[in-house]
Amino acid sequence: MYDVLIIGSGAAGLTLALSLPKNMQVAVLSKQELSEGSTLYAQGGISAVLDKADSIESHIQDTLDAGAGLCHEETVRYVVENGPAAINWLDEMGVPFTREKEEDGSSHLHLTREGGHSHRRVAHAADASGHAIETTLLNRAKNRANITLFEHHIAIDFITTRRLGAAENRCLGAYVLDRQQQTVKTFRATYSVIASGGSSKVYLYTSNPDGSSGDGIAMGWRVGCRVANMEFMQFHPTCLYHPHAKSSLITEAVRGEGGKLRLPDGRRFMPEYDKRAELAPRDIVARAIDNEMKKRGIDCVYLDISHKPKDFILEHFPNVYQNCQKFGYDMATEPVPVVPAAHYTSGGIMTDLNGHTDVDHLYCIGEAAFTGLHGANRMASNSLLECIVFGHAVSKDIIKRKQQAQPDIIIPDWDESRVTDSDERVVINHNWDEVRRFMWDYVGIVRTTKRLERARNRMRLLLSEIDEYYANFRVTGDLIELRNLSLVADLIIQSALQRKESRGLHYTLDYPETNPELDNVDSILDPIRF
């Protein structure tokens, strides 16, 4: 029995765990190694107003502009105003941010600039900010006696009072598969928190690690949580193009520090698409690259920062430089081939400013949540900020609610009496591959109604097949992920069909213009209606 069960060990989950009182028993689940997740691979940094030349209002306006008329201004203001405190907290935790020395021997945080930002406001740890944040917070958590960390534990489903026959819908914990022991455990908790990250692995090409299969979003939907704006999947414009460069992101900051996008003949093309050129928001840059690739029949474009001194590149982008070298490219002397790849889930489970979902005692934070911060397009480096701010917000809310008593309900053990071990596991691999391929082809950067309907029809057949498989065979980690991935794919398709306009990350050839009547109108899917 735990006071708080946190599903996910990234920046959001660890921030919450470390912010809770030491007299509360906290369980943190990671379905792989504890540090593995999207936070670890985040390169650019975390945005906040830390420079005297910058302002809260400027950060708010930049976020609203990037969000293309769908940001919730109250949420944007809440997150931005809490940004400096979030950075200070990370600094106190010991995150080794890159600093600049003053003449008097003191130092301040070095700030970089990324697409969509009108000022330098991105604090970073060289070009491996996520790694620095994740490892620092994880080491802190390992030294807290009240925090128990579980590696290789993947949540299957939440346990709710409604599922046990009550009228109310309160979360009691979760059934969890221990992947090493291959046994299902019951984790009972007063409060449960989804901090499991996004769902970019639903696409064939992605910058995300393999675990980004939308588990928390699917689990929340199945117990009655609404989701919103799932059509807004962000494609990062610049992933290294190489057959063996799996998930090799080239940070936004390369363009922020002067990198230029070029065609194979060396010509720039971004000024033709937006006056901000390479510093335009990600949706514009990704769509421009996609258009150039399709128009010219080329496999990639090129990112060029070779006009900068090599020492500058090694100082600012040591890890990106080394990774490019590993695949035979020297970014100090030549342009690097890049393509867009699925990167961030801007929609998710609907929450308020306290992280509450539609299910009592169930919270959601981080990339799995829809808070209204990102709107139709997430601005660079606002995501880690959201993780820290809402990790603290949920902590405060749980402390305020205190340790409420659990209802006197007996939770049955996981029942495997009517299932067998599968002798057809190849089906999982085939279905997984099929989902990711048709999502890339039909629900990618540029969409049409016909493509979306095609994807929906195939998805409904696959969901039926997967449900039947799930009902008859013992759960495995791969089956759990496939079940979740396919459900989230269906939610993305439903949301995309619902939005009959082009806005931000959602671009459809059938409705190429933005409809002003849909300003501030979210695409909400209610599980009760489906």
Structure tokens at 460: 């409904």
- Over 90: is that where the pLDDT of 127 sits? no
**Residues paired with residue 252 on neighbouring β-strands, in sequence order:** none
Q: Which residue bears the tokens 């290294």?
A: 240
Q: What are phi and psi of 369, to 5 degrees?
A: -95, 150
Domain 426-517 belongs to what topology? Methane Monooxygenase Hydroxylase; Chain G, domain 1 (1.20.58)
- Compute the distance between CA of residue 42 and CA of residue 36 in angstroms, rounded to an integer: 11
What is the per-residue DSSP string for 162-227?
TTTT-SS-BEEEEEEEETTTTEEEEEEEEEEEE-----GGGSSSBSS-TT-S-HHHHHHHHTT--E
Q: Which residue bears the tokens 């809770």?
A: 20
Q: Which residue bears the tokens 């309160």?
A: 170
- Compute the distance between CA of residue 261 and CA of residue 257 in angstroms, rounded to an integer: 13
- Compute the distance between CA of residue 347 and CA of residue 340 in angstroms, rounded to an integer: 19
DSSP strand pairing (301-304 vs 336-345): antiparallel
- Compute the distance between CA of residue 488 and CA of residue 85 in angstroms, rounded to an integer: 34
Contact 195, 368 (CB under 8 A): yes
Q: Please give the radius of gyration of the chain, using alpha carbons only, rounded to the nearest integer.
A: 22
The secondary structure element, H or E, covering residue 286 is: helix 282-296
- Compute the distance between CA of residue 299 and CA of residue 278 in angstroms, rounded to an integer: 19
Contact 115, 279 (CB under 8 A): yes
Q: What is the mean pLDDT of the chain?
A: 93
- CATH H-level, domain 2-100+108-231+346-401: superfamily: FAD/NAD(P)-binding domain (3.50.50.60)
Domain borders along the chain are 2-100+108-231+346-401, 240-342, 426-517
DSSP designation for 516: G
The three-state secondary structure class of 271 is helix
Active-site residue, from 113, 121, 226, 282 = 282
| Angle at which helices 382-401 and 83-93 cross, to 10° | 90
Which segment of 53-57, 163-167, 520-524 scores lowest on mean pLDDT? 163-167
Told to judge if 451 belongs to the known catalytic residues of this protein, a careful annotator would answer no
Identify the pLDDT of residue 514: 97
Under CATH, which number does the domain 240-342 receive? Answer: 3.90.700.10
Mean pLDDT to the nearest integer, 24-43: 90
Summarize pLDDT for 203-262 with one digit per residue, the tens. 988 888 888 999 999 999 999 999 999 999 999 899 999 877 776 889 888 998 999 999
- Over 70: is that where the pLDDT of 300 sits? yes
Q: What are phi and psi of 149, to 5 degrees?
A: -100, 130
- Compute the distance between CA of residue 354 and CA of residue 391 in angstroms, rounded to an integer: 9
- Over 80: is that where the pLDDT of 168 sits? yes
- Over 90: is that where the pLDDT of 114 sits? no
Summarize pLDDT for 350-371 with one digit per residue, the tens. 999 999 999 999 999 999 999 9
Summarize pLDDT for 373-415 with one digit per residue, the tens. 999 999 889 999 999 999 999 999 999 997 677 777 889 999 8
What is the per-residue DSSP string for 113-164?
--TT-SS--EE-STT-HHHHHHHHHHHHHHT-TTEEEETTEEEEEEEETTTT
Mean pLDDT to the nearest integer, 337-356: 95
- Over 90: is that where the pLDDT of 298 sits? yes
What pTM was computed for the model?
A: 0.91
Mean pLDDT to the nearest integer, 249-277: 94
- Compute the distance between CA of residue 332 and CA of residue 4 in angstroms, rounded to an integer: 48
- Over 80: is that where the pLDDT of 102 sits? no
- Compute the distance between CA of residue 176 and CA of residue 292 in angstroms, rounded to an integer: 45
530: pLDDT confidence band, cut at 50, 70 and 90? low
